[in-house]
């Protein structure tokens, strides 16, 4: 009995620590399976595209998850998001000007991440309590927020392609809007945490609704697989919120202002 009790506690501890990762993995599998059964590509693309923003907001506003788990989840869901966009973008006729702008945005983003390091890129100061550090290397020598600029350029660059823009402009537009939202979140800083929590939560709920309307507007009909995908999205959002916003969570802000501001401004 004692062995079973110890094993049960160990299992609950593992699930508790990695609950957010399990939720993300099950959600992605549910959406992929539902899309395969119903051939509802637009809804699947929209449902898979914005979760890393939600994770950024949860970590920034609550900080209640182990840093290595948050970083793993954020990288995984961002990879899924980029893959979803790449699938539909590369299925359209290529446009040279669009590709050049996208490449420029990606290169700016990669260079900024290299200057910061992977931990600080993923809110290491706020979530892991890393000490503030002054970063003056390019592109931080020019702007405090090169990653946001790079993201906006890359996602906005897809809209230069007329074939992609015709069918998928809401997808790229939501990415641009959410990156601007990240900028507003970082500029708000810890002193306005309540506003960040309220605004971020409402924004993500609005994105889910907007994504659903955009997908349904593309001709997707309500079926059992689609209802299951929607239910999986709600369950995942709620589980992630519970993981990060637990009452036992530590304060989100442990090292001053927003990460990309302090990276350059703190001496």
* Ranges of each domain in the chain: 19-265
- Provide the whole-model pTM: 0.82
Q: Is the pLDDT of residue 263 over 50?
A: no
> Nearest Cα to 231, choosing from 218, 214, 212, 245?
212
Residue 265, pLDDT score:
30
As a whole number, mean pLDDT of residues 165-193 equals 84
CB atoms within 10 A of CB 226: 22
- Least reliable range by pLDDT among 13-22, 235-244, 253-262: 253-262
Q: How many helices (H) and strands (E) would you count in the chain?
A: 12, 0
As a whole number, mean pLDDT of residues 126-137 equals 74
- Which band of pLDDT confidence, cut at 50, 70 and 90, is reported for residue 249? very low
> Nearest Cα to 258, choosing from 67, 158, 96, 124?
124
Mean pLDDT estimate for the chain: 79
CB atoms within 10 A of CB 92: 17
As a whole number, mean pLDDT of residues 86-106 equals 96
As a whole number, mean pLDDT of residues 48-62 equals 88
Helix axes 51-61, 162-188, angle to 10 degrees: 0
As a whole number, mean pLDDT of residues 224-252 equals 77
Residue 4, pLDDT score:
45
């Amino acid at each position: 009995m004692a062995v079973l009790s110890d094993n049960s506690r160990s299992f609950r501890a593992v699930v508790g620590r990695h609950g957010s990762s399990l939720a993300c993995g099950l959600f992605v599998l549910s959406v992929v399976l539902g899309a395969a059964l119903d051939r509802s590509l637009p809804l699947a693309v929209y449902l898979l595209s914005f979760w890393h923003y939600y994770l950024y907001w949860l970590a920034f506003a609550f900080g209640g998850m182990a840093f290595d788990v948050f970083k793993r989840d954020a990288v995984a869901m961002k990879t899924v998001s980029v893959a979803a966009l790449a699938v539909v973008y590369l299925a359209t006729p290529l446009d040279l000007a669009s590709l050049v702008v996208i490449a420029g945005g990606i290169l700016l983003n990669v260079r900024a991440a290299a200057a910061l390091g992977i931990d600080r890129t993923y809110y290491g100061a706020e979530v892991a309590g890393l000490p503030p550090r002054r970063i003056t290397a390019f592109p931080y020598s020019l702007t405090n927020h090169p990653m946001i600029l790079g993201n906006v350029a890359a996602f906005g660059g897809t809209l230069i392609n007329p074939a992609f823009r015709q069918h998928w402009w809401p997808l790229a537009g939501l990415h641009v809007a959410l990156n601007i939202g990240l900028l507003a979140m970082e500029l708000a800083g810890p002193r306005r945490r309540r506003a960040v929590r309220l605004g971020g939560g409402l924004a993500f709920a609005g994105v889910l609704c907007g994504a659903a309307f955009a997908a349904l507007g593309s001709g997707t009909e309500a079926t059992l697989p689609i209802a299951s995908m929607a239910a999986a999205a709600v369950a995942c959002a709620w589980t992630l919120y519970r993981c990060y916003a637990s009452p036992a969570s530590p304060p989100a802000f442990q090292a001053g202002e927003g990460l990309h501001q302090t990276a350059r401004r703190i001496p």
